[in-house]
Chain A
Amino acid sequence: MSQYSVWSVLREGLRGQTGWDRAWRDPEPKPEYDVVIVGGGGHGLATAYYLAKNHGITNVAVVEKGWLGGGNTGRNTTIVRSNYSQPVSTQFYEHSLKLWENLSHDLNYNVMFSQRGQLGLFHTPAARDAAAKRANTMMACGIEASLLSREQVMKMVPHLDYSENARFPILGAMLQKRAGTARHDAVAWGFARGADNYGVDILQQTEVTGILREGGKVTGVETSKGTIRAKKVGVAVAGSTGHVMRMAGIERLPIESHKLQAFVSEPLKPLLDCVIGYAAPGAHFYISQSDKGGMVFGGDLDFYNSYAQRGNLPIVQDVAECAMAILPCLGRVKLLRHWAGIMDMSMDGTHIMSKTPVDKLYLNAGWCYGGFKATPASGWHFADLIANDRPDDLTAAFSLDRFERGHTIDEKGMGPTPKLH
């Protein structure tokens, strides 16, 4: 693998870019692996990477039916933060954030994690108290957070709507300075290149068509390129979780698939230097600006079960209204593209990382809105779960059986209605 650095970029510039290797190999499948990961998105690739790096397990294949990062990894709005409401989630996402901070160096690949800070606006005294509780929870977990007054927010982002015409006045914001955005595709490519470098086989255009079991234990996968035997199988296929788990005889899961739209404007010179989250009655919105200059934003789900990666007009209009509600200067900015990703919406708004009723079959699913920011920690802990066949302290709470046991982790307090999480 060619090492990436400023020197390699200069050297290749001088010799006409002829010396670059493939970022990852394109191998034929071996007949057997120690671990097969189903799903070549960020989570699957990160899992393979950490299996090799943290556990020395390198006889691993990542099996992907399409192209790497073609699911939600390459469709999200790229926000990374660790300001969750439930303490166990805060701790999990904080581990992820810590991994993000050194990910470019770790992978020798610039994932462009930009810690430009996230402002979570609030609009009522009660929402201020809720923000304070969240910030206090973070501080108690050792995560820096602060509460900004309206005046401090005005100073930081002068062109939000502070006028009397604003339907919901901005009273202030919670700030997480270490939050930010990253380059989503680069995360998939960086983990793929890193895993490949450890000897992991990345098998693109290889669709899993069956999960092989003997006596309640997984033994491999059937694929469009033949049978691949495996001692352990990890499934990380957000958006297709039900489909794949059905192959292992698991007919029902506490997950519904919903679509979430994402939006990007035409590129602009710098207009917004931080990430903004907006939650008001009947409104949910988040926006940042990519390094290329596009305003990247999104809002609510389309609110019905769907496997179509395209959205519908009511949410397009709703999200545009939200954009105007906080940044009325966006009226003359033009929307360039909108699309949708399929979200695994779990029954309590929190992900599932767990052993399953099938021995040596592991499930990583149900990420709701949190999947992208979770990528490194998801890989880290899922690898640990697979390597040791037991959840670590941070993962135990995210088990599949928490629903029947009554230990749900309800991020928004909306109960078993996936569309509301």
Chain B
Amino acid sequence: MIRIKCPFCGERDHSEFSYGGDATVEYPALDASVEEWNKAVYQRANPRGPHREYWHHLNGCRSWLIVERDTLTHEVGTAEFAHPGLTEALK
């Protein structure tokens, strides 16, 4: 069981969350080119090792989090709100 420290709810089983994929992908503007969108939608670095990734606390506070996790060991590092203003707003 991967344990993720949700900054809002505390440490929880990963089964409360839904995996949201590579968080290093930068989605381009809606009117950006086909090439840029192809890259964002389909191309993945898929690293073996440290990975920044999204987890959605689906069965919790429903925050989208950015979690540092090692894909080889499943060791979890930091977990932060994906929304850049949320950490500050909750203080």
Flag whether B74 is at the interface (Cβ < 8 A).
yes
- B21: chain A residues within 8 A (beta carbon): 256, 305, 417, 419
Residue-by-residue, is A327-365 near B (CB-CB < 8 Å gives 1, otherwise 0)?
Answer: 000000000000000000001000000000000000000
- B52 CB, nearest partner CB in chain A, Å: 11
- Which residue of A is nearest B16, CB measured? A314
- Which residue of B is nearest A419, CB measured? B19
Residue-by-residue, is A288-308 near B (CB-CB < 8 Å gives 1, otherwise 0)?
Answer: 000000000000000111111
A254 to B22 Cα, complex, angstroms:
12
Task: Specify which of B1, B38, B39, B47 is in contact with A242 (CB 8 Å cutoff).
Answer: B47
Flag whether B71 is at the interface (Cβ < 8 A).
yes
Within 8 A of B (CB), among A237-255: 240, 242-243, 251-255
- Which residue of A is nearest B39, CB measured? A252
- B22: chain A residues within 8 A (beta carbon): 256, 305
- B32 CB, nearest partner CB in chain A, Å: 14
Verify B2–A416 contact, CB threshold 8 A: no
Verify B48–A307 contact, CB threshold 8 A: yes
Verify B51–A305 contact, CB threshold 8 A: yes
Given contacts A308-B72, A312-B2, A404 and B44 within 8 Å (CB-CB): no
- Which residue of A is nearest B38, CB measured? A404
A253 to B34 Cα, complex, angstroms:
17
- A347: chain B residues within 8 A (beta carbon): 41-42
What number of A residues sit within 8 Å (CB to CB) of B? 25
A416 to B43 Cα, complex, angstroms:
10
Verify A416–B19 contact, CB threshold 8 A: no
Verify A255–B44 contact, CB threshold 8 A: yes
- A315 CB, nearest partner CB in chain B, Å: 9
- A417: chain B residues within 8 A (beta carbon): 21
Task: Specify which of A252, A307, A313, A416 is in contact with B45 (CB 8 Å cutoff).
Answer: A252
- B35: chain A residues within 8 A (beta carbon): 404
Verify A304–B38 contact, CB threshold 8 A: no
- Which residue of A is nearest B67, CB measured? A304
Verify A252–B44 contact, CB threshold 8 A: yes
Flag whether A73 is at the interface (Cβ < 8 A).
no
A304 to B69 Cα, complex, angstroms:
10
A416 to B19 Cα, complex, angstroms:
14
Flag whether A403 is at the interface (Cβ < 8 A).
yes
- B46 CB, nearest partner CB in chain A, Å: 4
Verify B73–A308 contact, CB threshold 8 A: yes
Verify A253–B44 contact, CB threshold 8 A: yes
- A345 CB, nearest partner CB in chain B, Å: 10
Flag whether A257 is at the interface (Cβ < 8 A).
yes
- Which residue of B is nearest A240, CB measured? B48
Query: Residues on B close to A: CB < 8 A?
Result: 1-2, 13-15, 18-19, 21-22, 34-35, 38-39, 41-48, 51, 53, 69, 71-74
